[in-house]
Amino acid sequence: MTIPKFAQIKQFIVNNIRSGAWLENQRVASENELAEQFSVSRMTARRALSELTEAGILTRSQGLGTFVASFKSQSSLLEIKNIADEVKARNGNYSCTVLVLESISAVAPIAIALGVEVDSVVYRSVLVHNENEQPLQVEERFVNPALATSYLQQDFTALTPHEYLSSVAPLTEARHTVEAIMPNSEMCQWLNLYHEEPCLQVIRRTWSSSGIVSFARLVSPGSKYRLGGHLTFKK
């Protein structure tokens, strides 16, 4: 299947950002430069830049050019909100699809993230949060069983992991990183994307007073991104 030229340009730009070749706030190639490089019209190049700008991956300044957006900006003003409440605040209809709810042996990266021993048992969930029956966000979460013993027994169509964990292990701290990614075929299926498009991935670790509670990966279509930050909650 031939990839449209504008999609090739988008992929080229995203790859340069992901690899670090183009840094945050750096000026990217102009419409004319991209049109010449890919042998396309300026309209095709403009479409690629416009779609990435709409997705929050690029930012455009009249008379100055197009720049890489600050995806990894850190903001202490960031709030951890319950996604169900966010949807309802927009007068949307929230629902959740549970794809995976299981216990697994922690491989090294997960064990390190949760502060547990390698190969120890941890809980894993994969959920799709929906707004008006359309996928809004995929949440893959690993949970420390010692701090949320009944995690696997919860009905996450009735309450979110955030709500449950906040009740059994109240948050005292959270750390986030945010980056642009291109979703794989499985993620495209979960998000009901007809073709690959830039998505924003949030990696989040949360603590309670007793230790690390969870390690989560949240993936949303690129038009729905959030800044990252380090929060300390008031007791």
We report the CATH number of the domain holding residue 31 as: 1.10.10.10
Q: How crowded is residue 140: how many other Cβ atoms within 10 Å of its Cβ?
A: 17
| Residue 219, domain extent | 83-232
Query: Which one of 68, 95, 121 terminates a domain?
Result: 68
pTM: 0.63
Low-confidence ranges of the chain (pLDDT < 70): 1, 55-56, 70-79, 223-235
φ, ψ of residue 21 to 5 degrees: the values are: -65, -35
Domain membership flag for residue 106: yes
Q: Are residues 61 and 87 in the same domain?
A: no
Secondary structure class of 232 (helix, strand, coil) = strand
Query: Which one of 14, 37, 68 terminates a domain?
Result: 68
Q: Are residues 116 and 173 in the same domain?
A: yes
Q: Are residues 45 and 94 in the same domain?
A: no
Q: Are residues 114 and 213 in the same domain?
A: yes
pLDDT at site 89: 77
Q: Are residues 225 and 163 in the same domain?
A: yes
Q: Are residues 172 and 202 in the same domain?
A: yes
Q: Are residues 112 and 227 in the same domain?
A: yes
Terminus-to-terminus CA distance in the chain, angstroms?
56
Q: Domain tally for the chain?
A: 2
pLDDT at site 75: 35
pLDDT at site 90: 73
